[in-house]
Amino acid sequence: QQPVQSPQAVILREGEDAVINCSSSKALYSVHWYRQKHGEAPVFLMILLKGGEQKGHDKISASFNEKKQQSSLYLTASQLSYSGTYFCGTESNTDKLIFGTGTRLQVFP
């Protein structure tokens, strides 16, 4: 069963912040985040493992709340290069990586 991502789309001005959420109905042991720019392959951003860890690089970070079976991706002070579609992927004991339907992010000057 696919995880649910929200919102489906986000429009930002440069410098604004955004949060993308990913939730599952299953107990998870990991959450992956990927970004796909238009016409390109998805590119790995980060993996979060159960234990409630928070990870980040540059101004993109994420958290994983295993009790709520949710993960959130935080984009702060957005840049034009952040535009693209963001996918979360979830793994459980019974399922291999299943991707969500994606969140389209557009950053304008």
Partner 1 sequence: DVKVTQSSRYLVKRTGEKVFLECVQDMDHENMFWYRQDPGLGLRLIYFSYDVKMKEKGDIPEGYSVSREKKERFSLILESASTNQTSMYLCASSLFLRQGATYEQYFGPGTRLTVT
Site string (64-103) toward partner 1, x via CB under 8 A: -----------------------x-x-x----xxxxxxx-
Smallest gap from Cβ 100 to partner 1, in A, equals 6
- Hey, what are 77's tokens? 């002070």
Q: Contact with partner 1 (CB under 8 A): which of 30, 63, 92, 106?
A: 30
Mention every residue, 6+ apart, whose C-beta is less than 8 A from residue 104: 8, 9, 10, 84, 85
Q: Would you tell me how many other CB atoms lie within 10 Å of the CB of residue 68?
A: 10
Q: What is the size of the binding site for partner 1 (CB under 8 A)?
A: 22
Residue 56 binds partner 1, judged by CB under 8 A: no
- Asked if 34 and 44 count as a contact pair (C-beta separation under 8 A), the reply is yes
Residue 4 binds partner 1, judged by CB under 8 A: no
Residue 51 binds partner 1, judged by CB under 8 A: no
Residue 4's closest CA among 31, 25, 28? 25
- Asked if 32 and 24 count as a contact pair (C-beta separation under 8 A), the reply is no
User: Which residues are near partner 1 by CB under 8 A?
Assistant: 2, 29-30, 32, 34, 40-44, 47, 49, 87, 89, 91, 96-102
